[in-house]
Amino acid sequence: MQDAVTSLIQTYDVTGRYLDRDAMDQLQSYFASGTARVEAATMINANAAAIVKEAGRQLFDEQPELIRPGGNAYTTRHYSACLRDMDYYLRYATYAIVAGDTDVLDERVLEGLRETYNSLGVPIAPTVRGIEIMKEMIKQMMEEADISDTSFIDQPFDHMNRELSEKDI
């Protein structure tokens, strides 16, 4: 797993270049958002169960067919598995928020997920929507805490959704 700093340095090292103005600007941006990233992680950690529960409720309100007989979240076991997966996405998104890099998502979440979901017949659209709901909730919580720049929250959630959406599972 890498963070924004090691990822940037690795890119420059591979090409044999010194850090230029663009690299310095990227580093400055990452460090400037450090306090907000830690505050976001703290807020998510303190509210993770509530975020997952509410995101699940909203998802199933929007798509009630998922919890009806024949739906992918029908039965307590499937419903619990769905919430467990949402918690998993939230936890790794939190790591990526702090790191300022989506590398951990590729390594620990997305690699192999397509094959797993495909083999289990899990539809991807509700997964993507659940991730989007969690992102919206966290951004709202950040705004309520008077943290105005929440753009770094988008990065991990959008990355997961983009990677999942662009693939035919």
> Band of the pLDDT at 115, cuts 50, 70, 90?
confident
Task: Tell me the average pLDDT across 135-160.
Answer: 95
Task: Please say whether the beta carbons of 119 and 169 come within 8 A.
Answer: no
Boundaries of every domain in the chain: 1-32, 34-165
Count Cβ neighbours within 10 Å for each residue of 58-95 and write b for 16 or more, e otherwise: bbbeebeebbeeebbbeeeeebeebbebbbebbebbbb
Specify the CATH number for 34-165; select among 3.40.640.10, 3.40.50.720, 1.10.490.20, 2.90.10.10.
Answer: 1.10.490.20
Task: Please say whether the beta carbons of 29 and 37 come within 8 A.
Answer: no
pLDDT of 44-85, one tens digit each? 999 999 999 999 999 999 999 999 999 999 999 999 999 999
Q: What is the pLDDT of residue 33?
A: 94
